[in-house]
Amino acid sequence: MEWNGTAGVKSGVNAANMLLQLDIHNVALIDGISIELGEGFNVLTGETGAGKSIIIDSINAVLGDRVSREIIRTGAQSALIEAVFRVDADRIRDIMNEMGMEPEEDGTLILSREISQSGRNTCRINGKMVSAAFMKAIGERLIDMHGQHDNQSLLKTEHHIELLDSFAGESLRSAKDEYSALLGQYREVWAKLRALSGDPGERERKMDLLKFQADEIRKARLKASEDEELGRQKTLLLNAEKISNTLAAVYDLLFAGSGGSSALDAMNESLSRFSSVAGLDESYGEMYRRLQDLVYQLEDLAGDVRQSLESAEYDPAVLEEIEERLDLIYRLKRKYGSSIPEILEFCQEAEKQLEELEKSEETAKALSEELAVLENRLYEAACRLSAERVKAASLLENKISRQLEDLEMKKAKFSVDIRFDTAPPGPSGRKYGSNGLDKVEFLISPNVGEPLKPLARIASGGEMSRVMLAVKTILAEVDRIPVLIFDEIDTGISGKAAQKVGEKLSYISRGHQVLCVTHQAQIACIADHNYLIEKMVEEGKTRTKVTKLDESDKTKEIARLIGGETTEASLKYAEEMIRAAKKAQTA
């Protein structure tokens, strides 16, 4: 969209993103006001001290700026500011998700902030409490505040490269995508190389430790559940005498009968006697067979007890070996894991790390070669990216210079300073950033003979205002912030220059909602919506009042701005100014 020197017809106003309403309660002279704002160009006027700055301060507060409790209206316990936006959900979805929130389906976004006399600040987004920092972060997506002394986005040098890139369009975007892909590969390889190329002495110490650990575990020749089996054997050896005595006594009682008849003798006698009646009845026969089974089982048991008794022995040497083995396993558990499987897993991991470290020199060499190739490709991509910026900068300089000439700064010179990193290759030299090797800064020379200076060092408020407008006019289509607020940026200008400022603001409002606080009739007459800020005394208290003006009241306010007093002549002149503004807008 090109500027042709007149406001033209508004088209494509981004109505999906705008500030719908601002409510302010108990802030300074304001006890309670509600301002419904419209699409396009909104202008606020009023006498000095009427409260225009209070409204701007309130907007800054609800956007998360630092605020003092001194702004609370005298006699009130707290102040409340609420701003209602209509926002495209995709604009804020990522930052809302950080807070575990989802944008409303209808696009409504309500920011509110309460400041209390106790010093407590309560910030809310759609009713959910958030920090002031988060409120500020989301506010930066919605409103850009422009004033003579504001630390606005155009005065932040780090933003200049983003604005230039946005202005450059698709050709630069393609070059930047290529560069970004190579940068990702470069950083990945560099990170791997850095991890391998640490302190050589430290690497050797780590290798020695890993080798010792793996050797210690391997030499132990551990087996699964070995510690449990050794513990069982140790228990038996420690109780060998008790076991031997018990087996001997049991064998004697059941089988040997050294003190008389044994249990087996008694059962054999019982079996012999039972045999005489076993055939008389089936039940006796069943009992006989059961007794016979018991005799057979007892005889088998006799053999087992005798064998165990013969093999039972206490060998101190075996017990010592078992205890030494268990002690070794215990020490390994203290170092490498709470169980044998964990110890063996530790050994495998140590061997794997050791193998990687042993191969690190070979790997580092391969990574260094890969990094050198990527460095060359990345540098070439950065050069192409810089070349696209140089072309875009030349075009941007010409466009903004024409805008400055249109704003009665005919001798001003605007320049885009692009500084390319000329450091030698390598990570310790060139500093490859996300934007390449360029540093971009906007410079201005307002008058003939003056050197180019950074925008922030322009002394004149009027010059600053017009430079800001010139840049904003050209970048209006690429600036994604939907709401722009200009707070008395017309200070120090008047006449034709003021008229041009109004036209530029009207042009910007084609794609943005614009709010402007002004004392200039030339700017107020071209607005789509006009608001009058008044200070009045009611019931012994001073209050600020905001009124949206109809066409008749707008004419009266323009007349006041022209001459200070409303006269027939000033009213007539105001009507002519408004008609001329409308004609320019529809031309």
- Distance between CA 101 and CA 138 in Å, rounded? 12
How much is the average pLDDT of 436-464? Answer: 83
Higher-confidence position of 56 and 2? 56
Residue type, 443: L
Residue type, 322: I
Token representation of residue 85: 């936006």
Q: Which pLDDT score, from 0 to 100, does residue 441 have?
A: 94
Give yes or no for a contact between 314 and 245, defined as CB atoms under 8 angstroms apart.
Answer: no
Give yes or no for a contact between 401 and 413, defined as CB atoms under 8 angstroms apart.
Answer: yes
Q: Which pLDDT score, from 0 to 100, does residue 10 have?
A: 44
- Distance between CA 146 and CA 490 in Å, rounded? 11
Show the CA angle centred on residue 501, arms to residues 500 and 502, nearest 5°: 90
How many Cβ atoms from other residues are within 10 Å of residue 255's Cβ?
A: 19
Which fold does the domain 1-142+481-503+513-546 belong to in CATH? Rossmann fold (3.40.50)
Q: Which pLDDT score, from 0 to 100, does residue 9 have?
A: 36
How many Cβ atoms from other residues are within 10 Å of residue 474's Cβ?
A: 22
Q: Which pLDDT score, from 0 to 100, does residue 151 have?
A: 42
428 pLDDT band (50/70/90 cuts)? Answer: low
Query: Does residue 190 have a pLDDT over 80?
Result: yes
Q: Which pLDDT score, from 0 to 100, does residue 316 have?
A: 77
Give bridge partners of residue 548 from the DSSP assignment: 531
Give yes or no for a contact between 252 and 258, defined as CB atoms under 8 angstroms apart.
Answer: yes
> Where does 78-163 show beta strands of DSSP type E?
78-86, 108-116, 121-125, 128-130, 143-147
Closest CA to 211 of 332, 355, 337: 355
pLDDT digit string, tens, across residues 128-153: 999 988 898 888 888 887 765 444 56
Q: Which pLDDT score, from 0 to 100, does residue 283 have?
A: 86
Which of 11-15, 240-244, 340-344, 532-536 comes out lowest in average pLDDT? Answer: 11-15
Average pLDDT, rounded, for the chain: 84
Strands 41-46 and 78-86: unpaired
H/E segment holding residue 44: strand 41-46
Computed on alpha carbons and rounded to an integer, the radius of gyration of the chain in Å comes to 45
Token representation of residue 200: 């050589």
Backbone torsions φ then ψ of 333, nearest 5 degrees:
-65, -40
Which of the listed ranges 111-115, 241-245, 578-582 does the model predict with the highest average pLDDT? 111-115
Query: Does residue 520 have a pLDDT over 60?
Result: yes
75 pLDDT band (50/70/90 cuts)? Answer: confident
